[in-house]
């Protein structure tokens, strides 16, 4: 568990009153180096409250089913699942929450009717080392009763990433990513 820090008031020798002590951020990072590792805290959250999924990364290679005349892929293609691009899947733990922040939804230009809540719009957090992009997708699959990925894979939900935001710690180090996603119909 992370330790809590409190702000300390100190006596000033100049005006004999109290003042807040100024924090030097260069020393703050050194002071916290052994105390709080946000990447480790996020990993603990993913391990305790997240679940397994795949991040599907599109490559720059077209699939053999791509038709250059119609500029479409075969929706029944077993290689690209109708996306038209070769891809790589990476198994990872994610944490998913419904997107209810109106400011974020406005930035994403996703509108719902008055009094309605867009339940197909979520924010999915992933670990710092994944570096997702808006060309990627997040694939949720069936899990066993122990929380492991069922074999063979049965795709439950495909999430298209519309916006990716890195969350940075001190000195600009990426601690985790937030992916703003919307559900893609998969025609089950």
Q: pLDDT class for 10, splitting at 50, 70, 90?
A: very low
How large is the average pLDDT for residues 125-142? 91
Q: Which residues contact 48 (CB under 8 A, 6 or more apart)?
A: none
How large is the average pLDDT for residues 136-145? 88
Res. 21: pLDDT tops 60: no
Q: pLDDT class for 135, splitting at 50, 70, 90?
A: confident
Q: So what's the pLDDT on residue 124?
A: 94
CA distance 108 to 88: 26
Fold of 37-61+88-184: Thrombin, subunit H (2.40.10)
CB 143 within 8 A of CB 91: no
Pick 96 or 29 by higher pLDDT.
96
Kindly report, residue by residue over 30-79, the tens digit of the pLDDT.
445 556 788 899 999 999 999 999 999 888 888 899 999 998 999 888 88
Pick 82 or 92 by higher pLDDT.
92
34 backbone φψ class: left, alpha, beta (φ>0; ψ -120 to 50) = alpha
How large is the average pLDDT for residues 6-15? 46
Q: pLDDT class for 3, splitting at 50, 70, 90?
A: very low
Res. 164: pLDDT tops 90: yes
Residue identified by tokens 């009094």 is 115
Kindly report, residue by residue over 96-112, the tens digit of the pLDDT.
988 765 555 555 555 55
Q: So what's the pLDDT on residue 8?
A: 44
């Amino acid at each position: 568990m992370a330790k809590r820090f409190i702000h300390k008031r100190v006596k000033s020798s100049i005006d004999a009153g109290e003042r807040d002590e100024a924090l030097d951020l260069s020393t703050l990072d050194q002071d916290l180096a052994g105390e709080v590792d946000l990447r480790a805290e996020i990993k603990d959250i993913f391990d305790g409250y997240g679940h397994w999924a795949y991040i599907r990364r599109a490559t720059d290679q077209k699939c053999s089913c791509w038709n250059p005349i119609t500029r479409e892929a075969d929706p029944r293609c077993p290689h690209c699942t109708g996306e038209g691009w070769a891809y790589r899947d990476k198994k990872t733990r994610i944490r998913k929450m419904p997107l209810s922040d109106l400011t974020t939804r406005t930035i994403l230009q996703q509108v719902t009717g008055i009094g309605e809540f867009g339940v197909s719009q979520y924010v999915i957090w992933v670990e710092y080392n994944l570096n997702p992009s808006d060309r990627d997708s997040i694939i949720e699959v069936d899990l066993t009763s122990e929380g492991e990925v069922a074999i063979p894979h049965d795709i439950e939900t495909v999430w298209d990433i519309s916006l990716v935001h890195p969350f940075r710690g001190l000195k600009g180090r990426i601690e985790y990513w937030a992916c703003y996603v919307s559900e893609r119909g998969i025609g089950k």
